[in-house]
Every structure is written in C-alpha cells, then in structure tokens.
Amino acid sequence: MLLYYSIINMDVAGLQKKIGKPLVFALCLLPFIVLLVQLLTNKLGANPIEAFTRQSGEWGLRFLLLTLTVTPFRHLIGQSWPLRYRRMLGLFVFFYICIHLSSYIVLDQFFDWSEIGADIIKRPFITIGMTAFVLLIPLALTSNKNMMKRLGRNWQRLHRLVYVIAICAVLHFFWLVKADLYTPTVYASMLGLLLAYRLFKTYRST
Ligand code: HEM
C-alpha cells in the first residue's frame, strides 16, 4: 500500500514538473490571446481601444494579486510547489502592464509624447499608474536566479516594492472610475487581506 502510494505520489510530482510550467504559461497567456482576437475581429464593443486598454490593465491587476497570493496559499496547504510558479506569474504582471501601457501610447495617444507627458503630470490616475509601472521595472529585471543570488538579502527588500505597486495599482483604478466603485473596492479588499496577512506574519516572526 505504501509502495503504491509513493508510486502515485512520485508520478504526480513528476507530471507536475514536466507539464506544470508549460500549462501555467499557456493559461496565463490565454487572456491576451482572447483579447487580441477580440480586438482584431471587432468584438470589443463600441469603443474597442478603451476596452482593450481597460481589460489588459485589469488582467495586470489580477495577476498582481495572484502573485501576492502564492505565499499565503503555500502556507495554507503546507507545500512548497506553488513557489515554482511565482516568478512566472510576476513576469506576466509585467507583460500585461506593458501591453496596457503600449495600448495607451499607441492606440489611445498615437505616440503623441507631449500629450502623454501632460497626462502624466495633470491626471492623477495616470501619474500613479506610471509610478506603478516604473517600480515594476526593477522587479522584472531582477526576477532571475542570477540576480537573486547577487543581491542576497537586498533582493527580498527590493521585491517588497510589489506591495507599494499593488497599492498604486488599486488607487489608479479608484481614481479613474467616476461612479461605480464596486470592482475597484473588490480588488482593494483582496489587497487589504493580503497586506493584513503579510503584516501578521512579519509581526509574529519578530
Ligand atoms: C501596475 C500598473 C498598472 C495597473 C495594474 C493598471 C491597471 C488598470 C486597471 C485595473 C484599469 C481599469 C480597468 C477597468 O476599468 O476595468 C486601468 C485603466 C487605465 N489605465 Fe492602467 N494600470 C497600470 C498602469 C498604467 C499606466 C502606466 C498607464 C499609462 C501611462 C495606464 C493607463 C490607463 C488608462 C488610460 C486607463 C483607462 C482606459 C480608459 O478608460 O480608456 N495604466 N488600468
């Protein structure tokens, strides 16, 4: 019985190692492919550019919260395998936000840099979105194992910026919606829970 159990367990672990990452990669890319197909086939409603910008931004925020959920989830189930996917999820945050920003620069503003500069200065929701994007860059650049080793303890310190980025992202969403605050409130509550968990863990370990 024990032998049977360990063979099954070994198979599941082996299978997860083999197909886990490609599967998660494909699942993370799926929203982008769907969005792109919808854009190219005119299925994004009356204002396709706005819909594309908004949806890519929302996917960026979803992946951001998902990345922050990895550690609490790992503690909850008492296994370390979720950690294997954290870096990929984090890089997908950067990917969706690059798409979001490109959509704003190319489709919305047609590379009008003076208009974009004025937006960054004058519209608080763009200012804070841009802050979140700039803060994401060092995290994306240092997400590989090599940089992790080189930075040592500073790597963890630097990557705590992800919480600041998430707060900026939620504020960005709150600032841009004028009437219906329901969706940003849902994301803010999720972030609140994740931050509370993080603070609780830090407090307990000191
Ligand atoms: C971490 C960075 C960012 C995140 C997580 C993010 C997320 C979001 C979210 C969730 C929305 C609203 C989606 C909806 O209404 O369903 C949004 C809208 C928007 N974002 Fe961002 N964003 C980020 C950075 C930026 C940057 C850098 C810019 C441009 C400089 C930008 C420009 C916009 C614009 C223009 C909209 C409104 C689209 C419209 O209504 O036409 N965002 N973003």
Mutate to test the pocket of ligand 1, among 53, 64, 135 (most ligand atoms within 8 A of CB): 53
pLDDT at site 6: 55
What angle, 0 to 180 degrees and rounded to 10, lies between the N-to-C axes of helices 124-141 and 161-176?
150
Question: Is-contact 184 174, C-beta < 8 A?
Answer: yes
Q: Is 132 in the pocket of ligand 1 (CB under 6 A)?
A: yes
* pLDDT for residue 9: 57
Q: Which residues of the chain have pLDDT under 70?
A: 1-13
Distance 151 CA to ligand 1 centre (A): 31
Q: How far is the CA of 172 from the centre of ligand 1 (A)?
A: 7
Mark 157-169 as b/e (b = at least 16 C-beta within 10 Å). eebeebeebbebb
- Position 202 scores a pLDDT of 87
Report the distance separating Cα 198 and Cα 8, nearest Å.
Answer: 35
| CB 99 less than 6 A from any atom of ligand 1 | no
pLDDT tens digits, residue range 108-166?
A: 999 999 999 999 999 999 999 999 999 999 999 999 999 999 999 999 999 999 999 99
pLDDT reported for residue 205: 78
According to the model, what pLDDT value does residue 191 have? Answer: 98
Contacts of residue 35, defined as CB under 8 A and 6 or more positions apart, other chains included, come to 52, 55, 56, 59
Q: How far apart are CA 89 and CA 95, in angstroms?
A: 10
Q: Cα dist. 13→80, 110, 160, 171 in Å?
A: 12, 49, 30, 40
**What dihedral do alpha carbons 27, 32, 34, 37 form, nearest 10°?**
-140
The per-residue pLDDT for 188 is 98
Residue of 50, 173, 180, 183 to test ligand 1 pocket, by largest number of atoms within 8 Å of CB: 173
Ligand 1, residue 61: give the atom nearest the CA.
Answer: 5
The angle, 0 to 180 degrees and rounded to 10, between the axes of the packed helices 161-176 and 48-77 is 140
Give 31's contacts (C-beta < 8 A, 6+ positions apart).
55, 59, 96
Q: Whose CA is nearest to atom 43 of ligand 1?
A: 57
